[in-house]
A and B are shown apart, each in its own frame.
Chain A
């Protein structure tokens, strides 16, 4: 018989998935190992002056006896002021404490309103120093798909660079452009377009 391309693709996908599963398993192991080792140095220097932050391990002096233990269980019973540290990432992102930044048509400039939004996002990032954020760059549906990939990239980079200028470490900020692939609003008018021209903040790890 002759090869069936679809079956081939499916076979390939299955193999890839197996390969990926293995890879992911290896990566997860590596990550877990890496995190466990890296956690204390990340947590210590950023212990913020904010008074009642039970967000982390920060208020605790470095305790040598249990360095390998995951320091996370404690914040499970947080103060009323902090409901975020105990929230899982998906829930957190669905009701994101970060505000999106909006742009003009074909613009990547951070205007005054956007600056205020980013100032707020920067405060939040300083409050939760373990959080790593991915800034997604999006565009409205106008303009070519290819150009909008570049435009989304520029918007994400503009937001990132502004946050870096506010003192957020660059290694806590990731960027990715989706161009016009994932509109937030489905309409074909300025009402929707203005919401789709955005840099959107996603908590990637915490």
Chain B
């Protein structure tokens, strides 16, 4: 067992904290189905944050998340309480800022009967530095109130206390919100627990008539960042590919064959608000792989609209302001924006084989070649604070995900040569990458950390391609 360090504790602080507790229970109305809006972080009265530190120097703080306590006895509330504890454990574990103690090791510790009655001694024995406890109860109107408290085990002090009320339809969202708030308060980290993945899937086995036989079609789907709540987003009897979340997370742009010639479509995901075709397909104009500018105003995409050669274009989301950015006899493809919007990376065959290039986002100046490898494709620029480009690189029979770091001008490979690994997309905090892999058979979506650890499979049904991570 790791010895416990007595954590310094200031009485004055405790007083302020307990006063803050009441005030901090600002009710945050949470709906289970609304878009992953980023609610402004609730105003916390305490200007001093009690930061959980580790009892073992050099190691992350050890955190336990037991099941939340159901204060109402109906099955839905009981199930929600269990779900929130499990999902919060998973969410906190995902960022690797804390060491999450395996839940099996504390099944025997009796549940707290209330949020104020936590058997601290037993949690100390377990070696936990902190504990998240919480309750779920029914409220008038059918929703639930969820209370949580982040408790420093050594002192019993509360580092964070929140109450959320809302629908019981998606209990996971409470856990995701708590996780993001704990990461922000404790680690100054933007968590990704409320972000979404969009991707292409043929899982529903729908077919369209093809010229030789029927063809299996793919449409756009989405899921939570952890693969839960998979849903269909586009519904058409043609193939839709390559979704891209707008920066506000409310809209996706994608390529559709529904008019026979590839259109770029911009479609609201949650509300019937927007359905635009900023780049329309025609016999002479195919439009592929839209990428949003960081301000959400423009899309870069590739098209053959000027005589058949693929070039990078820019268009406003409403279809105005069409501009050509590249002009080279070899294909220019797969655009991605730098976080500030000043540059665009893309794939080009101009050196013979496809390699990654960057250029100014207004098309001026010469393009700079970044990679000199066998074959590279699908660059994706990381968000700040990292300044990296991830891409798929041919490393044998298949591809691996590699990352180029602008600061050190160095490259690293983060997948392991198993299967073919393609189409990387960064999480909005830059710490994770979703990609496709054939390591489990058909192409599926996986998520991995930027150091190559923490591989997780997101999709399992059908074939899934073109992942894109919401901001």
Other-chain residue from A4, A93, A143, A153 in contact with B304 (beta carbon distance below 8 A)? A153
Contacts A146-B347, A182-B215 given; does A176 touch B423 at CB 8 Å: no
The distance in angstroms between the C-alpha atoms of A182 and B235, with both chains bound, is 18
If A12-B272, A15-B272, A146-B378 touch, does A176 touch B286 (CB 8 Å cutoff)? yes
Q: How far is the CB of A12 from chain B (nearest CB, A)?
A: 5
> Is B289 within 8 A of A146, CB to CB?
yes
Residues of B within 8 A of A145 (CB): 241, 422-423, 436, 465-466
Which chain B residues (275-314) contact chain A, with CB distance < 8 Å?
A: 275, 283-284, 286, 288-289, 302, 304, 308-310
A-side contacts of B333, CB under 8 Å: 146-147, 149-150
**Does B268 sit at the interface, judged by CB under 8 A?**
yes
Query: Whole-angstrom distance between the alpha carbons of A175 and B392 in the complex?
Result: 27
Nearest CB in chain B to that of A15: its residue: B272
Within 8 A of B (CB), among A1-41: 2-6, 8-13, 15-16
13 further A-B pairs in the complex, CB-CB below 8 A; given A136-B211, A145-B423: A6-B231, A9-B233, A13-B235, A145-B241, A145-B465, A146-B288, A146-B423, A153-B331, A154-B310, A174-B284, A177-B262, A177-B288, A181-B239
Among B35, B209, B241, the residue within 8 A (CB) of A181 is: B241
The answer, yes or no, to whether B254 is at the interface (CB within 8 Å) is: no
What is the total number of residues of chain A having a CB less than 8 Å from a CB of chain B? 41
A144-B422 in contact given A2-B33, A10-B235, A12-B267 (Cβ < 8 Å): yes
Q: Is the CB of B466 within 8 A of A9?
A: no
Q: Nearest CB to that of A5 among chain B residues?
A: B270
Q: CB distance A150 to B302 under 8 Å?
A: yes
Give the residues in chain B near A181, CB-CB below 8 Å.
218, 239, 241
CA distance A136 to B209 in the complex (A): 14
Q: How far is the CB of A45 from chain B (nearest CB, A)?
A: 21
Return chain A residues, CB-CB under 8 Å to B209: 90
Q: Which residues of A contact B34 (CB under 8 A)?
A: 2-3
The 8 A CB mask of B225-246 against A (1 = contact, 0 = none) is: 0000001111110010110000
Give B156-208 interface residues, CB cut-off 8 Å to A. 167, 169
Complex Cα distance A102/B4, Å? 70
Enumerate chain B residues within 8 angstroms of A161, measured Cβ to Cβ.
Answer: 308
- The reply to whether the CB of B55 lies closer than 8 angstroms to some CB of chain A is no
* A3/B271 contact (C-beta < 8 A), A94-B212, A146-B378, A153-B286 known: yes
**Nearest Cβ distance between residue B227 and chain A, in whole angstroms?**
17
Q: Which of B210, B233, B286 contacts A182 (CB 8 A)?
A: B210
Complex partner residue of A4 from B33, B210, B392, B436, CB under 8 angstroms? B33
> Residues of B contacting A160 with CB < 8 Å?
308
Select one of B31, B215, B216, B242 contacting A2, CB under 8 A: B31
